[in-house]
Amino acid sequence: MNLKPRFLILTTMLILVASAAAWLAFERIAAGIVEQWAMRLAQTQVRYDASRLLRPLAREIALARQMASSPLLRKWAEDPDDPGLAREAVVEMESFRANFQDGSYFVALRATGAYYFNNAANEFDGRLLRAHLSPERPADRWFFEIMAQGREFRLDVNSDRLGVARLWIDVPVRDGDRILGVVGTGLNLDTFIRDVVDAAQPGVRTLFVDAGGAIQLDRDPQLMNLDSAPSVESARKTLDQLLDATSDQAALHQLMATVKAAPGAVASRVVRVGGQPNLAGVAYLPELGWFEITLLDLDALIPLHGFASLGTIFALALLVSLGVFNLVLNGMVLRPLAALEAAMRKVQQGDFGATALPRQGGEIGRLMTHFTRMADAIRSHTQHLEDKVQARTEALHLLARIDALTELYNRRGMSELIEHEIDRATRHGDSPGLLWLDIDFFKQVNDRFGHAEGDRILTGVAALLRANIRPYDNAGRWGGDEFLVLVPESTPDSLANTGERIRSAIAQHLALPSGEAVTASIGAYLASPGESLDVILYKADQALYAAKNAGRNCMRCHGDASTIALPGQ
């Protein structure tokens, strides 16, 4: 056999061997890239799904907590047989109903076992007492469990007394360490699952389980525990029933223990569900005491057979390279492949900025181009996902401190501002001022003209507050029709002038459809350095009640018998 055929055969064999080695290396690197991308996707998806769950629940939980902290409801819970307190409590409960998303609420009293309920249609007006709870009745077991557990709040998936499946938010009414009862609201479970849990993303499934693995929320209602604590343990529908292997079950429970011990962490592992490989992302939601499990179907999200086109290009490159001498082969194939492999390793290690490759023609050049574009696409997508997570995190942080209707600070945000100002004033010896504003006869506005008109009045008051305070003053909606204005570095005259300017602006610029002017009562208090938040709020509240007792549409300063009123009052 001539040297040329031998050389060609040897070259072909060497090319085939080298090509096979390079292809195996590419497969491993590609698999590593895919695995890293899937891990990042799982972490991003878990955090995104958690924010989608917490966003609608945060407001409802805050409202339920506000209802549970109502002094009137606590007083009534201690003396439920007082008819006067009962009538006032009904008014208080109904004032919360319109603010809940579902338009419904419930109140259960420990002293008598009485269970009060009303829905968005006001179906039970005049007959809010729906039942008396008993520890002997299985359907009432939730109430007595909450009494025993003493948790801050609890989410409970269960059916109401009309047979409608709901996601209940249960908040204990407390007097110190004593639990006087439970209040809360319920969200329609079908609507909640459709809007939050079932995101209709191909290859992505999100479910939420409790500490024991019992499924609380899933896109398939048949897999959910409509009683969060069934009397028969075998009746519990758990996460383990979805997994094919017991080893995966044990591993997933271990991941749950890991993320619970490290708040904010996300852990992942490949498990098999229905015979298919799924990447399971696990996160713990301490706000709810639940775990979020996001299952990513790898075959649906990242079909590896898509790399077959790269193999075709690579085979064509081999056929063209058979007639090239060793020097050309080394210069045009081996060195470019070595550079490509090095770039792949850097991408595998997360170094997306080091993918520059030498200019090269032919099939190897196209392979390098495809790889560079793929690396750029992965880098761009990763950055995009990180930016979205950051944006949603910041939006959630802002949402927790801003009132959705008026776009002023809410109770939490205002409390933080006042605490910050107290610390600053204590250091500098300043006297911060606080104005507590209450819209006069606001309930009558809602009763006569509807809640839409009430919302217009609230947003109008918010706009007038912004227009009549200094740039460094802060206004917030404390709750219902009450607003607070924080006036840093204040004096008695400047505080009184600010309060009168706000009162006068409301009376002049806001009116009801009937033509009647909207008025407000204002209590003012000039704090001394070092006074606590509770003391400042208490004294401003005293001044507000003095303004109401003086006939409303006026301002009272704490400790000052004088009043600032409209001309003629």
Topology of domain 411-565, per CATH? Alpha-Beta Plaits (3.30.70)
Residue in 116, 105, 128, 110 with CA at minimum distance from that of residue 173: 110
Beta bridge partners of 563: 556
pTM: 0.42
| Residue ranges of the chain assigned to CATH 3.30.450.20 | 69-189, 198-301
User: Alpha-carbon distance 384 to 375, whole Å?
Assistant: 14
* Cα four-point dihedral sign 32, 33, 36, 41: negative
| pLDDT string in tens for the chain (569-residue length) | 655 566 567 777 777 787 778 767 766 776 667 667 666 766 776 777 777 777 778 888 899 999 999 999 999 999 999 999 999 999 999 999 889 988 899 999 999 999 999 998 898 988 999 999 999 998 888 899 888 887 888 887 776 655 567 788 899 999 888 999 999 998 877 777 776 666 556 778 788 888 788 887 777 767 776 554 444 455 567 888 888 888 888 888 888 888 888 877 888 888 888 888 888 888 887 767 788 888 888 776 666 555 556 667 766 776 776 666 666 666 666 677 677 777 777 777 767 665 567 676 677 777 767 777 777 777 777 777 777 867 776 666 677 889 999 999 999 999 999 999 999 999 988 899 999 999 999 999 999 999 999 999 999 999 999 999 999 999 999 999 999 999 999 999 999 999 999 999 999 999 999 999 999 999 999 999 889 999 999 999 999 999 999 999 999 999 764 444 433 33
- Is 267 within 8 Å of 282 (Cβ atoms)? yes
The SS3 assignment for 350 reads coil
User: Alpha-carbon distance 472 to 108, whole Å?
Assistant: 44
Question: For the chain, how far is it from start to end, CA to CA, in angstroms?
Answer: 121
- Is 38 within 8 Å of 279 (Cβ atoms)? yes
Beta-sheet strand order (sheet of 178-188): 129-132, 114-118, 105-109, 178-188, 165-175, 154-159
What is the CATH architecture assignment of 69-189?
A: 2-Layer Sandwich (3.30)
pLDDT tens digits along 174-197: 988 899 999 999 887 777 777 666
| Residue ranges of the chain assigned to CATH 3.30.70.270 | 411-565
What is the CATH architecture assignment of 198-301?
A: 2-Layer Sandwich (3.30)
- Is 55 within 8 Å of 287 (Cβ atoms)? no
159 token code pair: 């059916």
Q: CB under 8 Å to 186, separation ≥6 — which residues? A: 102, 104, 106, 160, 166, 167, 168, 169
